[in-house]
């Protein structure tokens, strides 16, 4: 999972840990808006559960809109009055103001890459004749809306570099609209493809059109809440109307199936990745593009493992898979004899988890994780190890993309104290052992990162499992238990948290704080078994790991309960919600963001049904007891003193609908027995997080960090 000086005396005065909450907030309980309750009770397999805030699920109603406005006023009145807020905003803005480059892509005789000068709301997409020649703006999403809330979500460039398909995200929604731009003229063609979600596009080699997956247009008014089912795969012929697109694959008998297209480099095959839900298990279909009238045929069936296409050589298809290999391996399947008994292993499973692989010529570049840090190895096409590719240090690597006949490739490198650096790898030397990396771009900002230190430690969870924690702090931090500390984690969906640089987190450490990231079960850091140990009936392991990490930070002298804050988003928001309801005594402040808070109804909205493989569902009799045991909304208890809490969500989040956070906040405000603030920050014209303008991100972190510093006393 990758995200991204004032004199010391002034820094201490502005950001030292001595700030306090204004007297009126510290001595009396805040007055929150009156949230009406309704008499709604559901019965789940014999268990009756009240849902008094059900009406807040209708995020478009006048009543909910009035509630949002009232809650935001209370929150902003509180936040605006906190000392040091403006200084924090200025510091964040200064730290954010540094150049950031995307990894270059070469297509034909041109290069394509993104760039942000620092404070641009959205990065600009450029093209250039060479890596060092003047660049030309190809797509500038900053010109598409006054507030920067229309984002360039993704791009797909033709092999010859003459056309680029690009998708736009409006106001944070997951819905995508695809357009096509002529690179030479910088003008859009008439083509437009709408109602695309969870799909990229795959060009035909002759630029005649592209494959993509979409849903039917939603009923008006239900765009952000309606269930997303029955995804269909189409071919869009360039120059035609979307209404005339050719249906390639639809499975109404399996409404929860989704499809992702890939056209092989030689144009022989359309490879269709078939998924259902979020569980990393897939099927693969094949359509032979070099045969007129060829039908879609199954290649891999059974949803028994994950299969990701790496490359093809003639009829041989190379896949990265966890089939019979929890930490993944590379196999090869011949399209002309795809029976399982004919599969062959190319690169065997090892102690490290393989994250991705690329094939250049006859050499595989394999990216693995070793204790949540990247490791790159190179292998002959038959699988034999060549060597370990030298990296700039311990951190996270992305990239190594490109066509198999590429003469160069690029990768990014980052960690918690290294802003993004991009390296070019020369692939032209005939000897595999001669590949070299040369720095192309290095981000620099006005901060003494040499004064920071990052260390990895391991804590012991409730059942004895060792859980890694990566801690970033100032070198001279005294471990006397007095440090304001923020613990972040995710713990789900096979997602790995690896070291990455963030100007927001740098601001936190620069202000004297400690930033800790725990790699919990449920993630992908140690392969399939690590993931499965934190899903469905094993979900409590995730919360136990997180609590163990918090207790380690306290027992080791990094911090104390009153100085410890926790933060997480989406599934991590669920994590924070569960932790604060299970152990309210352990934390001084909590920041749950866009969290899944109602574990009984998440599957009823947008793509929520896809998470059933991860969480289970209230529709399953054997899951209801487990879900109720940790569902944040259903474990809030009257008369408990909960930590200071700032919930955050957005009004256009159609991934985890904001009703989760609305209901959780209303219940927590009613139950809170002490003066600790219980607030919700509801962003407008924003969604689950992707594409959020820089200006909104700075304002958000200003509020979060100021809230933490005021309440971690």
Ordered mean pLDDT values, 10 residues apiece, the chain (713 residues): 24 28 50 96 96 94 94 96 95 95 96 95 95 95 83 93 93 87 96 92 96 90 75 97 96 94 96 90 96 94 96 97 97 97 97 96 95 94 93 93 94 93 88 76 90 96 98 96 98 95 96 97 96 97 98 98 97 98 98 97 90 95 97 97 96 84 97 97 73 89 97 92
Q: Which of 496, 500, 570, 648 is catalytic?
A: 570
pLDDT at res. 120 = 94
DSSP 350: -
Query: Homologous superfamily of 65-94+454-711 in CATH?
Result: Alpha/Beta hydrolase fold, catalytic domain (3.40.50.1820)
Instruction: Write out the DSSP string of 141-194.
Output: GGGS-TTS-EEEEEEEE-TTSSEEEEEEEETT-S-EEEEEEETTT--EEEEEEE
Question: 561 catalytic, yes or no?
Answer: no
Instruction: Write out the DSSP string of 296-329.
Output: PEEEEEEEEE-EEEEEEETTEEEEEE-TT-TT-E
**Cβ atoms 189, 174 nearer than 8 A:** no
How far apart CA 353 and CA 357 sit, in angstroms, is 12
How far apart CA 336 and CA 687 sit, in angstroms, is 45
How far apart CA 354 and CA 376 sit, in angstroms, is 9
How far apart CA 319 and CA 327 sit, in angstroms, is 14
Question: 374 catalytic, yes or no?
Answer: no
Instruction: Write out the DSSP string of 400-427.
Output: --S-TT-SEEEEEEEETTEEEEEEEEE-
How far apart CA 202 and CA 209 sit, in angstroms, is 9
**Cβ atoms 687, 653 nearer than 8 A:** yes
User: What would the 3-class secondary structure string for 595-620 be?
Assistant: CCCCCCCHHHCCCHHHHHHHHCCCCC
pLDDT at res. 428 = 86
How far apart CA 511 and CA 14 sit, in angstroms, is 8
- This prediction has a pTM of 0.89
Query: Exposure of 243 by Cβ count < 10 A (0-12 exposed, 13-18 middle, 19+ buried)?
Result: exposed
Start-to-end C-alpha separation, the chain: 31
- Judged by DSSP in three states, 660 sits in helix
How far apart CA 209 and CA 191 sit, in angstroms, is 10
Bridge partners, 685 (sequence order): none
């Amino acid at each position: 999972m990758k995200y991204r000086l004032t004199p010391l005396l002034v820094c201490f005065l502005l950001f030292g840990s001595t700030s306090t909450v204004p007297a009126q907030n510290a001595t009396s309980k805040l007055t929150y808006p009156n949230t009406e309750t309704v008499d709604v009770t559901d019965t789940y397999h014999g268990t009756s559960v009240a849902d008094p805030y059900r009406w807040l699920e209708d995020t478009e109603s006048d009543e909910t809109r009035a509630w949002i406005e009232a809650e935001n006023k209370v929150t902003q009145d509180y936040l605006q009055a906190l000392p040091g807020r403006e200084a924090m905003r200025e510091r964040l803005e200064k730290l954010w103001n540094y150049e950031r480059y995307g990894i270059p892509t070469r297509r034909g005789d041109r290069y394509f890459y993104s760039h942000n000068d620092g404070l641009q709301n959205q990065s600009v997409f450029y093209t250039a004749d060479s890596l060092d020649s003047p660049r030309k703006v190809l797509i500038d999403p900053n010109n598409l809306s006054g507030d920067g809330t229309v984002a360039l979500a993704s791009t797909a460039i033709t092999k010859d570099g003459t056309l680029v398909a690009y998708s736009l995200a409006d106001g944070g929604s997951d819905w995508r609209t695809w357009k096509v731009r002529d690179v030479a003229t910088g003008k859009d063609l008439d083509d437009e493809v709408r109602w695309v979600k969870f799909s990229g596009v795959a060009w035909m080699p002759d630029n005649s059109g592209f494959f993509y997956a979409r849903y039917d247009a939603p009923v008006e008014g239900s765009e952000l809440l309606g269930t997303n089912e029955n995804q269909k795969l189409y071919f869009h012929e360039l120059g035609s109307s979307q209404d005339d697109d050719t249906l390639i694959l639809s499975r109404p008998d399996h409404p929860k199936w989704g499809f992702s297209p890939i056209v092989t480099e030689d144009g022989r095959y359309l490879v269709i990745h078939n998924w259902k839900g979020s569980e990393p298990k897939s099927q693969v279909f094949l359509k032979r593009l070099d045969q007129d009238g060829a039908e879609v045929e199954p290649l891999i069936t059974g949803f028994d493992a994950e299969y990701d296409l790496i490359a093809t050589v003639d009829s041989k298809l190379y896949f990265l898979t966890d089939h019979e290999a929890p930490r993944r391996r590379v196999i090869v399947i011949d399209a002309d004899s795809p029976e399982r008994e004919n599969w062959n292993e190319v690169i065997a499973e090892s102690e490290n988890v393989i994250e991705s692989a690329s094939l250049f010529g006859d050499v595989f570049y394999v990216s693995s994780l070793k204790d949540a840090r990247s490791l790159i190895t190179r292998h002959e096409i038959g699988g034999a190890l060549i060597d370990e590719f030298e990296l700039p240090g311990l951190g996270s690597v992305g990239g190594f993309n490109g066509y198999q006949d590429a003469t160069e490739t690029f990768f990014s490198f980052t960690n918690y104290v290294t802003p993004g650096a991009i390296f070019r790898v020369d692939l032209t030397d005939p000897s595999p052992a001669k590949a070299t990396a040369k720095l192309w771009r290095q981000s620099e900002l006005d901060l003494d990162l040499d004064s920071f230190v990052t260390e990895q430690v391991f804590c012991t969870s409730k059942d004895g499992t060792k859980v890694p924690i990566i801690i970033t702090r100032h070198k001279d931090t005294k471990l006397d238990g007095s440090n304001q500390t923020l613990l972040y984690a995710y713990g789900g969906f096979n997602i790995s948290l690896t070291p990455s640089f963030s100007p927001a987190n740098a601001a936190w450490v620069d202000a004297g704080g400690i930033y800790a990231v725990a790699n919990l079960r449920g993630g992908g850091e140690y392969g399939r078994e690590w993931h499965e140990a934190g899903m469905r009936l094993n979900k409590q392991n995730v919360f136990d790991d997180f609590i163990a990490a918090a207790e380690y930070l306290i027992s080791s002298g990094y911090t104390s309960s009153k100085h410890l804050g926790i933060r997480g988003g989406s599934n991590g928001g669920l994590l924070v919600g569960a932790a604060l309801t299970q152990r309210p005594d352990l934390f001084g402040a909590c920041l749950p963001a866009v969290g899944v808070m109602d574990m009984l109804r998440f599957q009823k909205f947008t793509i929520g049904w896809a998470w059933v493989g991860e969480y289970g569902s209230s529709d399953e009799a054997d899951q209801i007891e487990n879900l109720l045991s940790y569902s944040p909304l259903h474990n809030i208890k009257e008369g408990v003193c909960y930590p200071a809490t700032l919930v955050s969500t957005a009004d256009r989040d159609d991934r985890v609908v904001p009703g989760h956070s609305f209901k959780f906040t209303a219940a927590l405000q009613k139950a809170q027995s002490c003066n600790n603030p219980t607030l919700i920050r509801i962003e407008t014209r924003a969604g689950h997080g992707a594409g959020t303008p820089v200006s909104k991100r700075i304002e958000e972190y200003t509020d979060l960090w100021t809230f933490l510093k005021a309440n971690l006393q």
